Amino acid sequence: MSTCCVSLTKGFLIVFFFLGSIVFALGLWILIDKNSFASYLGLSRMQVWAYSMALSGVLTGLVTLLGCLGALWDLPTSRATPRWRP
């Protein structure tokens, strides 16, 4: 794989890693801060959403980390398309 594609892949993965981190941080903020807007909206329903946000943020971070390592090491198993050789 060319270095341009590897750099582009790592760039997209870094963006998704930061987005997952933001979702994780928002989920934790809702869970930790009891005097926030979550107390006005109903605590039990908001806790479910906060736990799901935190979990999805962690999963996004793990998947992007594995994808970035796969792009860095040029692992053929980390790509969705097979490597074509003439």
Q: pLDDT for 47-69, tens place per residue?
A: 888 889 999 999 998 888 887 77
| Contact assessment for residue 16 and residue 74, using Cβ atoms and an 8 Å cutoff | no
What's this model's pTM, rounded to 2 decimal places? Answer: 0.71
* pLDDT score, position 59: 93
33: left (phi over 0), alpha (psi -120 to 50) or beta: beta
Q: pLDDT for 3-48, tens place per residue?
A: 676 677 778 888 888 999 999 998 888 888 877 666 666 667 778 8
Residue 27, Cβ density class (10 Å: 0-12 exposed, 13-18 middle, ≥19 buried):
buried
